[in-house]
Amino acid sequence: MTFHSRVAAAEDLLRARGAAEVPHPGGTLLDHLRRVRVELAAWDAPPEVQLAGLCHASYGTDGFDTALLDLAERPVLTEAIGAEAESLVYLYGSCVRAHVYPQLGQEEVEFVDRFTDVLRTPDRASLSAFMEITAANELDVVRHNPAIAAEHGPALHELVIRASRHLSDKARRAWTDQAARTGVAAE
């Protein structure tokens, strides 16, 4: 399957699972997911990271309970976007943020899986992909919800600064530009 056919298959699956009806800052969840993929593309993220960004909320997240797919349906998502991208979607959705986020300044980060309670340390590429998706996701949210930007923007900017070793230059620059535009300084 080509990258573009995987994007189309993923969007068809997301639409079939109701993403176009779920409200989200800036429109619908599907709108948000598309913008995250486009942002990742602008940052020159690899295709599997872009696909994972497009589907990052498929199993719900620690901060967004709405799941479009049950965990038993992982093969369905794998068929649409490929195994590598699906494993990143699972990593993103399974992350216990309160455990992971404080560690993001470190070289290695231990993850707790919120579905299984299993601890694991992702490899460097997976951790970087996780952070790129996180940065793109949160950037889109603060761009489309002034209340969230005002309340959480400084902490999110601080998170990006702390995790900078795991981010591309373009992701860091996008957050720096956002902070400059909004006058947000890290706490």
Domain range enclosing 43: 3-182
Name the pTM for this structure.
Answer: 0.95
pLDDT at position 185 = 53
Identify the pLDDT of residue 113: 97
Going residue by residue through the chain, which has 187 residues, state the pLDDT in tens, using 9 for 90 and above. Answer: 899 999 999 999 999 999 999 999 999 999 999 999 999 999 999 999 999 999 999 999 998 999 999 999 999 999 999 999 999 999 999 999 999 999 999 999 999 999 999 999 999 999 999 999 999 999 999 999 999 888 988 999 999 999 999 999 999 999 999 888 876 654 4
Judge whether 132 lies within some domain.
Answer: yes
| Domain containing residue 161: CATH number | 1.10.3210
CA distances from 164 to 33, 35, 134 (A): 23, 22, 12
The number of distinct structural domains making up the chain is: 1
Nearest of 88, 96, 103 to residue 136 by alpha carbon: 88
Residue 187 lies in a domain: no
